[in-house]
Amino acid sequence: MARLFPRDGAVGRAVDLRLLRRLWPFVRPQRGLILASLALLLTTSAAALAMTWVVMLIIERHVEGDSSEGLGVLLAWFAALALFEMLGRALGTWTVDVAGQNALLGLRSTLFRHLQALSSAFHDRTPTGRVVGRVTTDIEALQEMFSSGVVTVLGDVIFLCATVALLFTLHWQLTLAVLVVVPLLIGLTLWMRVRVRAAYADMIDSRSRLNAFLHEHIVGMAVVQMFTRERRVRSAFGGISGDMRDAQLRSVSWESVLSASTELLSHLTVALILAYGGSLLLGESLATGLTLAALFAFIDYMRKFFVPLNDLSLKVTVMQSAMTAAERIFHLLDHDDFIPAPKSVVPLPAARGAIAFRGVTFGYDPAEPVLRDVSFEVAPGERVAIVGATGGGKTTLLKLLTRLYDVGEGSITLDGVDVRDYALSELRSRIGIVPQDVFLFGGDVLHNVRLGHPEISEAEARAAADRLHLDQVVARFPLGYHEPVRERGANLSSGERQLIAFARVLAVAPAVLALDEATSQVDTRTEHLLQDALHDLTRERTSLIIAHRLSTIRDVDRILVIANGRLIEQGTHEELLRAGGAYRRLNELQFVSDR
């Protein structure tokens, strides 16, 4: 089973200047907020350091010494600093998160629009699951970079330096002794983090395998049961779930060891301060200048010193995943698989619907042409059928016409203008395609007809739908046109879905109507509903009709026969039958099979 669900990515570097430079345009508008939170971090940290100092002074003067003057002032200072720290921390947390949310809102939107602009070639070869992950999980990893405070890591560094400086003024020998612990702590946590992270990556990986397996088997449970595979499937699931458990156990072990050993180190530091500081204090010469209060301050400062230091290793891993995520996001943004825009915009003729293919050759893989040197013309208002065996290139003709792909050689013109000279949106609004597999969006029936198209009013959408007798169908739904469409239209029959696809195309009122096996899934009754409407609709405009069942296209103006990527015959039904070529053979085959 494992081979079917490959791993998703590895661990990257923590800092990658190239990626940071690319992130900058999104972060730049937020620089005010980021600077503000940096300032807040520094001032509140300073306040925290000052508080310990004040406590030290209070103890030195009023406990070890015996004066009672000025105690009130010091306590008031402490309270003021505490209040400042409280507000500063709250505000700092908030500002940096706002900055992150704002920056990533822009990035997410850019990414989504980029995806919409990418060519069909890209979408056809890229698994959707991965791409969805870019827009969701990966952006979240970048958000984590803000909320965990990586952005203000500079503040942490300044804070650490300031603390060390302060400790030096307090007692430099003791400071030097204590700082021995720091490299130990950094080394240990970094070393362990790497392991925690590796275990975590295993866990994520096993979880996504579990998800994939679960999803497949929930959707296909009827088949599992039908073929009594329950036992095998259960044990396969048990295996995957067990893998996940084991990865979790590894990650739990490392995390437990890590958290316990950092705590151990901080306790040992206290012990160190007591041992060394204590012996200095007890030394005969009082010239060392060390007081009990200073010793306490030392311990307190080290505690405050440990917090960002501990976080630092955590931030490294956050940064690693953020960089990995950024790498993937920008990799996606670097795809420039666009259908090229026209160099100069041609003044557009009024839409009539004249189509001409001239010497068109094309292959999804250029080495294997799907269409070879295909030429034909379709007059405005003409009804043309395209027939031929599956895989012969019929659907590809439509994809080229709407520029989902661009021709390899030759050219295609619509109303005398090369399709590559139209603005894409202009071109596509002139051609309406009803596909074989209807895709429905979340929302209600009416939304699926209008699809948020700004030019189509609700009334127009309803009119288009009514014309196809969709009103008779929706009359059966409790909510009529506002009946919600479930995931992929699960609550509609294939015929109903097909009607919606027709309505959605008609609402745009295209000059060219292309039907790609559009009626193959429609049952007899729905076909009946469609028949009249279709007759009118195809009469009003140029129509290209791809059909398997030859009986449905008998009355078109012309029939093109495509075989192995070449146009081999064209003519009316009668002409082609008389010619006694491929069409006649096709016809006889179907006739025999229909008998």
Neighbours of 546 (CB within 10 A): 23
Pairwise CA distance, residues 4 & 501, whole Å: 34
Per DSSP, helices labelled H in 457-594 are 458-467, 470-474, 494-507, 524-540, 573-579, 582-594
Closer residue to other proteins (CB): 84 or 376: 84
Q: What is the nearest approach in angstroms of other proteins to the Cβ of residue 18?
A: 26
* Residue 363 is a binding residue for other proteins (CB under 8 A): no
Q: What is the nearest approach in angstroms of other proteins to the Cβ of residue 59?
A: 7
Q: What is the nearest approach in angstroms of other proteins to the Cβ of residue 548?
A: 5
Q: What tokens does 396 get? A: 């590809």
Q: Are the beta carbons of 397 and 371 closer than 8 angstroms? A: yes
Q: What is the nearest approach in angstroms of other proteins to the Cβ of residue 94?
A: 4
Closer residue to other proteins (CB): 334 or 487: 487
Closer residue to other proteins (CB): 23 or 273: 273
Which x/- pattern over 544-583 shows residues binding other proteins (rule: CB under 8 A)?
A: ----xxxx--x------------------xx--x------
Phi, psi of 151 (to 5 degrees): -60, -35
From the list 151-159, 309-317, 324-332, 430-438, the region that binds other proteins by CB under 8 A is 430-438
Closer residue to other proteins (CB): 153 or 199: 199
Site for other proteins in 518-547 (CB under 8 A): 520-521, 523-526
* Residue 177 is a binding residue for other proteins (CB under 8 A): no
Closer residue to other proteins (CB): 38 or 508: 508
Q: What is the nearest approach in angstroms of other proteins to the Cβ of residue 189?
A: 14
Query: Considering CB under 8 A, how many residues would be counted as binding other proteins?
Result: 155
Phi, psi of 520 (to 5 degrees): -65, -30
Q: Which of 87, 161, 176, 184 binds other proteins (CB under 8 A)?
A: 87
Phi, psi of 543 (to 5 degrees): -130, 140
Phi, psi of 109 (to 5 degrees): -65, -45
Cα–Cα distances (Å) from 456 to 266, 452, 462, 496, 515, in that order, read 68, 8, 10, 21, 21
Q: Tell how strand 443-444 and strand 558-563 pair up.
A: unpaired
DSSP class of residue 327? H
Q: What is the nearest approach in angstroms of other proteins to the Cβ of residue 13?
A: 27
Q: What tokens does 289 get? A: 């200048």
Q: What is the nearest approach in angstroms of other proteins to the Cβ of residue 576?
A: 9
- For the stretch 566-575, contacts whose Cβ atoms lie closer than 8 Å and that sit 24 or more positions apart, written own/partner, are 566/371, 566/372, 566/373, 566/374, 567/374, 567/375, 567/376, 570/376
Handedness of CA 494, 497, 501, 502 (dihedral sign): positive
Neighbours of 270 (CB within 10 A): 14
Q: What tokens does 270 get? A: 């206290």
Site for other proteins in 52-81 (CB under 8 A): 55, 58-59, 62-64, 71, 75, 78-79
Give the chain's end-to-end CA distance (angstroms, integer): 46
From the list 10-18, 28-36, 268-276, 410-418, the region that binds other proteins by CB under 8 A is 268-276
Q: What is the nearest approach in angstroms of other proteins to the Cβ of residue 425?
A: 4
Q: Is 477 exposed, middle or buried (0-12, 13-18, 19+ CB in 10 A)?
A: middle
Q: Tell how strand 417-418 and strand 355-362 pair up.
A: unpaired
Site for other proteins in 437-466 (CB under 8 A): 437, 439, 441-442, 444, 451-454
Closer residue to other proteins (CB): 39 or 210: 210
DSSP class of residue 368? B
Site for other proteins in 460-499 (CB under 8 A): 478-479, 482, 484, 486-487, 490, 493-495
* Residue 248 is a binding residue for other proteins (CB under 8 A): yes
From the list 18-26, 157-165, 357-365, 420-428, the region that binds other proteins by CB under 8 A is 420-428
Closer residue to other proteins (CB): 39 or 55: 55
* Residue 303 is a binding residue for other proteins (CB under 8 A): yes
Closer residue to other proteins (CB): 455 or 540: 455
Question: Look-up: residue for tokens 């395998």?
Answer: 209
Please name the helix (run of DSSP H) or strand (run of DSSP E) that holds residue 93, with its range, or none.
helix 71-117
Measured over all CA atoms, what is the biggest interatomic distance in the chain, rounded to whole angstroms?
123
Give the angle 531-534-537 at the CA atoms, nearest 5°. 155
Q: What is the nearest approach in angstroms of other proteins to the Cβ of residue 228?
A: 5
Site for other proteins in 119-148 (CB under 8 A): 120, 123, 128, 131-132, 135-136, 140, 143, 147
Per DSSP, helices labelled H in 338-476 are 394-401, 424-430, 445-450, 458-467, 470-474
Closer residue to other proteins (CB): 122 or 373: 122
Which x/- pattern over 202-231 shows residues binding other proteins (rule: CB under 8 A)?
A: --------xxx-xxxxxxxxxxxxxxxxx-
